[in-house]
Amino acid sequence: MPTFRRPAFSPGSAFAAWFAVLLALVTSALAPARVEADGLRILAATNDIGALARAVGGDAIDVDVVARPDRDPHALEIRPSTMRRATKADLYLAAGLSLDLWSDDIVRGSRNRELVVVVCGELIDPLEIPDGPIDASMGDVHPEGNPHWWLDPIRAVTVARSLAVEFAAADPAGAETYAANADHFASEVVQRMSAWTGALRGRIFVEQHASWIYLAERFDMVIAGKVEPLPGIPPTARHLAELAEVIQDHEVSVVIRDRYHVESGARFLRRKTGVRIEVLPASCDAPTPEAYFSHFDRIVEVLGAP
Amino acid sequence: MTTWILEPWTYPFMRWALVCCLVLAGIHAYLGFHIVRRGVLFVDLAMAQMAALGAAVGVVAGLEHDTAAGYAVSASFALAASALFAVVRSTRIPTEAFIAIVYAVASAATFIVLEKSPHGMDEVRHLFVGQVLTVAPSKIGLTAALYSLIGLALWRLHPRILAVTEGRATGGRMAVDFIFYATFALVVTSSVGLVGVLLVFSLLVLPAVGALLVSSSDGARLGWGWGFAGIASLVGLHAAFHLDLPAAPVIVVTLGLAVAGATLLHRWWCAGRSR
């Protein structure tokens, strides 16, 4: 057995080493990393925004998305790949209207000084802006308005057109392509509008969370009630009993909830009234225009006329 | 291989995350040593919960995000808890019980304050529970300055704090205790805001326990504590980057493995020497 000598270990030298490492790191961390890219690199907060970015940018751009659609965007653990992309991205497309508080952290933490931030929620007229001062008794109210604007395809077109302008500013050579792509997206939406309107107009449903006002307003639908009495607040027994009455009185046939919502409230309503429960995510599955449109196909399937 | 090793560190956010961990490690290894010796392991969770309650009160009272006023409210709640821990000491009831009470009552009070405002809950979480990958360099700078001052104070007071920790203090125990818990409250409040509760708790307890297991002199223990925290932060961040996982949990697991591994090696080495 070889004899080991105990290493001489003085706290002074340990501190000196620790401090030296720290100093070296701070010095190197001050220099930002830049990577040259050929096409625009876009980082979008959600799939829906990613879909609009892809529709406008076409195949020439690189689109990545921060939030996974099966998780609640209110609470997000930031992963290294997200930060990597933010470091190298040209544009960050935030959702805004307080949906993605973490977007600020990502942008700031990326140390990417050339990153252009576009807050999509600021490009449209929001619905449900609360009148007067907001206080805690109103629940999870977003002070700037309801943040689920992408469920209105016409507002999505507005955002797509603005994105074309933003993309053109970042990449003037592609300006015409971006504008043409935005026009193409607009015409695809217009083409589908009559079918969607035909299927959805006048339909009545109950939602779990206040996500669907933009859809309802665009297609003249009626939201008979919400499982959550106030946004983000779990239902009380009394609220559910009242909602069950509303469902019976108005012959509501479906309650929709997102994948990450708790189902117990909706199950109570089904027991009471026989109403259908459907999982209908507020976001599309992938950051592509095809996924954006097939999300609406699914919406029509669930909420549309039988 | 070289790319695999160096690539994570080409990103500023990774380097800042490591700087942040090392700044925290510097003071937490020392405080953790006292916390472990005193057997008050969960005092930081209680303090953090008090600070969160303070943040909640600030949000409901309409204080602007991320301002000095918000921080002051949050810190004053944590300081109130430290005064309590300094004053309340019973021979019949272990201090852990008081810590548990503060934790439970502060959590319940936070729920009541935010009862009708889960958005407020989001805000408090966002304000109060930081993520190490997005921490702002300016905040790291401020925190480093604060911790240097606190570190200096602790260094001057070390013999007296140690006397209380080892239970051989005579006079002025309460004052020393208050200063100790107050510095602790300030440190925990700032650290949790930077990197979150889980990582703060682990940086306090794991390096200290590892150091106590492998070393017997005070000075060397501090060195070992820094060593564990520094290596685990480096390896943990590196692993989190390549596995694409949230950083804090990976650092904590790495820290656990480092301490367990060092302890086993140390046992094996001691057994070899005594043979």
Residue A98 with chain B: CB contacts under 8 Å: 119
- Flag the least confident range among A50-64, A256-270, B77-91, B208-222: A256-270
Of B10, B122, B230, the CB nearest to A18: B230
Q: What is the pLDDT of residues A269-281, one digit of tens each?
A: 788 788 888 888 8
Q: What is the mean pLDDT of residues A182-195?
A: 92
Is residue B268 pLDDT above 50, yes or no?
Answer: yes
**What is the enclosing helix (H) or strand (E) of B52?**
helix B43-60
pLDDT of residue B136: 85
Confidence (pLDDT) at A2: 46
What's residue A54's pLDDT?
Answer: 93
Greatest mean pLDDT among A8-17, A69-78, B101-110 lies in: B101-110
Q: Which residue out of B11, B18, B273, B275 would a mutagenesis test of the A interface target, given it has the greatest number of A Cβ atoms within 10 Å?
A: B11
Rounded distance between C-alpha atoms, residue B141 and residue B194, angstroms: 11
The DSSP bridge partners found for residue A226 are A207
DSSP A287: S
Q: What is the pLDDT of residue B64?
A: 65
For residue A1, the model assigns a pLDDT of 42
Tell me the pLDDT tens digit for each residue of A37-56. 578 899 999 999 999 999 99
Contact A111 B16 (CB under 8 A): yes
Query: Which single residue is written with the structure tokens 């700087």?
Result: B19
**Mean pLDDT across B13-25:** 92
The strand ranges marked E within chain A are 41-44, 62-65, 91-94, 116-119, 204-207, 222-226, 254-257, 276-279
pLDDT digits (tens, 9 = 90+) for A237-282: 888 888 888 888 888 888 888 877 777 777 877 887 888 888 888 8
- What was the pLDDT predicted at A3? 45
B223 touching chain A per CB within 8 A = yes
| B residues 2-41 lying closer than 8 A (beta carbon) to A | 8-16, 18-19, 22-23, 25-26
Q: What angle do CA A206, A209, A214 make, to 5 degrees?
A: 80
Are B119 and A142 in contact (CB < 8 Å)?
A: yes
Q: Which residues of A touch B232 (CB under 8 A)?
A: none
pLDDT of the residue at B143: 92
Cβ pair A80:B245 closer than 8 A: yes
A-chain residues near B226 (CB < 8 A)? 14-15, 18
- Of A94, A56, A29, nearest to A289 (Cα)? A56
Task: Tell me the mean pLDDT in the region B19-43.
Answer: 90
How confident is residue B18, by pLDDT bands cut at 50, 70 and 90?
A: very high
Check B241 against A80: CB less than 8 A apart.
Answer: yes
Q: Mean pLDDT across the stretch A168-180?
A: 91
Beta carbons of A36 and A90 less than 8 angstroms apart = no
| Chains A, B: CB pairs < 8 Å | 135
For residue B88, give how far its alpha carbon lies from the nearest alpha carbon of chain A (Å).
34
Question: What integer pLDDT is reported at residue A112 of this predicted model?
Answer: 86
> In this complex, is the C-beta atom of B131 within 8 Å of any C-beta atom belonging to chain A?
yes
- The more confidently predicted of residues B25 and A25 is B25
Task: Using pLDDT thresholds of 50, 70 and 90, give the confidence band for residue A5.
Answer: very low
Residues 6+ apart with CB under 8 A from B153: B179, B183
What's the pLDDT band for B238 if we cut at 50, 70, 90?
very high
Higher pLDDT, A270 or A181: A181
Give the span between the Cα atoms of A42 and A40, in whole angstroms.
6
Residues A118-164 have pLDDT tens digits of 999 888 888 877 665 555 555 555 667 888 999 999 999 999 999 99
Structure-token match 């983000």, residue found = A232
Amino acid at A215: L
Is the confidence at residue A20, as pLDDT, over 80?
Answer: no
Instruction: Tell which residue, A145, A142, A151, has the closest CA to residue A298.
Output: A151
pLDDT of residue B149: 93
Contact residues, B window 62-91, toward A, CB-based 8 Å cutoff: none
Query: How far from A212 is each of A53, A76, A205, A256, B215, CA to CA, in Å?
Result: 22, 22, 10, 10, 61
Beta bridge partners of A205: A223
For position B234, what pLDDT does the model report? 92
Q: Is the CB of B266 inside 8 Å of chain A's CB atoms?
A: no
The whole-angstrom distance between B272's CA and the closest CA on chain A is 7
Q: Taking a C-beta distance cutoff of 8 angstroms, is the pair B15, A29 a contact? A: yes
Least confident range of A258-262, B173-177, B252-256, B260-264: A258-262
pLDDT (0 to 100) of residue A37 = 53
* Per-residue model confidence as pLDDT tens digits over B115-166: 766 567 767 776 666 788 888 888 899 999 999 999 999 888 888 888 888 8
**Residue A73 backbone dihedrals phi, psi, to 5 degrees:** -65, -10
- Least Cα distance to A283 among A44, A113, A42 occurs for A44
- Tell me, what's the pLDDT at A114? 87
Q: A22 and B119: CB-CB below 8 Å?
A: no
Given an 8 Å threshold on Cβ–Cβ distance, is A109 in contact with B18?
A: no
| pLDDT, position A15 | 66
Edge-first strand listing for the sheet containing A254-257: A222-226, A204-207, A254-257, A276-279
First-to-last CA distance in chain B?
40
Across the interface, do B246 and A14 touch by the CB < 8 Å criterion? Answer: no
Does the pLDDT of residue B275 top 80, yes or no? no
Burial class, A225, CB count within 10 angstroms (exposed 0-12 / middle 13-18 / buried 19+) = buried
pTM of the model: 0.80
Return the higher-pLDDT residue of A66 and A260. A66
Which tops the pLDDT comparison, A34 or B68?
A: B68
Q: Are the C-beta atoms of A151 and A214 separated by less than 8 Å? A: yes
**Min Cα separation B85/chain A (Å):** 30
pLDDT of residue B117: 65
Examine the pLDDT at A212 and tell me if it is beyond 80.
yes
Q: What is the mean pLDDT of residues B42-69?
A: 82
Q: Is the pLDDT of residue A75 over 80?
A: no
- Residue A306's pLDDT band (boundaries 50, 70, 90)? low
CA–CA distance, B108 with B105 (Å, rounded to integer): 5
- The answer to whether the beta carbons of residues B132 and B195 sit under 8 Å apart is yes
Contact at CB, A79 and B244, closer than 8 angstroms: yes
Which of A23, A71, A79 should be substituted to probe chain B, the one whose Cβ sees the most B Cβ atoms within 10 Å? Answer: A79
Most A CBs within 10 A among B6, B7, B13, B128, hence the mutation to make, goes to B13
pLDDT at A16 over 80: no
**How is residue A22 written in tokens?**
């720290």
Measured between CB atoms, does B234 come within 8 Å of chain A?
no
